[in-house]
Amino acid sequence: MQTTQHSSTRCQVHLHPAATNPSLIFEIRRQARDAGLPFIGTQQRRNRAPSPGPFGGDAA
C-alpha cells in the first residue's frame, strides 16, 4: 500500500474574492463535507496602510 493513497495532509485553497459568490462557497463546502474534509471559511483581513506622519516640527 502506498502512503500517498491515505494521506491526512491538509492543503489550503485560496479563492480570489471576485470568484467567491455564495453559491460557489456552498458548493465547495458540500464537496468538502462529502469527501470527509474540514472546511474553514474565513475572510482575510487587510492590513491598514500606515498613515503619513504629521508635517512640521523638525522636518526642516
N-terminal to C-terminal alpha carbon distance within the chain:
73
* pLDDT of res. 41: 74
| Section 43-56 average pLDDT | 66
Candidates 6, 10, 15, 4; CA nearest to 43 is 15
Cβ contacts of residue 38 below 8 Å, gap of 6+? Answer: 10, 32
pLDDT confidence of residue 2 = 54
pTM, to two decimals: 0.44
Report the pLDDT value the prediction gives residue 36, as an integer from 0 to 100.
Answer: 85
Look up cell 500500500; give the residue. Answer: 1
- Nearest C-alpha neighbor of 10 from the set 32, 43, 42: 32
Q: What is the pLDDT of residues 6-46, one digit of tens each?
A: 666 777 777 766 666 788 888 888 888 898 888 777 766 66
